[in-house]
Amino acid sequence: MLVQNFLAWRVILAGGLIAGTVDIGAASLINWLNPAIILHAIASGVLGSASFTGGAASAVLGLVLQWLMSLLIAAIFVLLAFIFTIARRYWIVAGIAYGVLVFFVMNYVVVPLSAAPFRAQHFTVSKFIENLLAMVLFGLIIAFFTRERHAAAAATDVPDNAA
């Protein structure tokens, strides 16, 4: 049980932090913006437009918020993969589906409810697809680490439901 819990936390930390960091890079590339501006935009979800004049402290807050959200998103996937074994067996499909779900929840629930001073500008199919693909990658990273967790647990003869 201790090994299983350790592996779950390792997956959540590794998958969440790596996916969250890659997501910042993807947002920078998609929008042709410096990563610091992306971090200010994330912090604006809490601080509003004041985030963009908050300097380094605001950017650090954005990074912390990004990583916290990423860890929460990873933890939810790990829990779902524990409950639904099909998500572990077909981890690529599960990761893609989870990435799509995260995309819609973040864009149509979380961001609109936040204090972010901006809303989606003119809709373009290319921006929609680029952002959707970034979240698919996010989901695949988390699913990959979750698959690795279950492979490691199997190698140590720890049953999946030992938690």
In a domain, 161, yes or no: no
Is 155 a residue whose pLDDT tops 90? no
**106 within a domain of the structure (yes/no):** yes
**Confidence band of 118 (pLDDT split at 50, 70, 90):** confident
Q: How far is CA 121 from CA 24, 35, 96, in A?
A: 19, 19, 26
Predicted pLDDT at 121 = 65
Look at residue 129 and tell me if it is in a domain.
Answer: yes
Number of domains forming the structure of the chain: 1
Could you tell me if residue 56 is inside a domain?
A: yes
* Residue at 135: amino acid letter: M
Contacts of 41 (CB under 8 A, 6+ apart): 51, 62, 116, 118
Average pLDDT over residues 88-97: 95
Q: Which residues contact 37 (CB under 8 A, 6 or more apart)?
A: 28
- Report the pLDDT averaged over residues 78-93: 92
Rounded Cα–Cα distance for residues 124 and 89 (Å): 35
State pTM to two decimals: 0.85
Lowest model confidence (mean pLDDT) among 7-16, 57-66, 127-136, 152-161: 152-161
Q: Does a structural domain hold residue 160?
A: no
The whole-number pLDDT of residue 117 equals 86
Pick the residue with more confidence: 116 or 16? 16
Please check whether residue 40 lies inside any domain of the structure: yes
pLDDT average, residue stretch 106-125: 84
Distance between CA atoms of 43 and 119, rounded to whole angstroms? 15
By residue range, what is the domain housing residue 129?
2-155
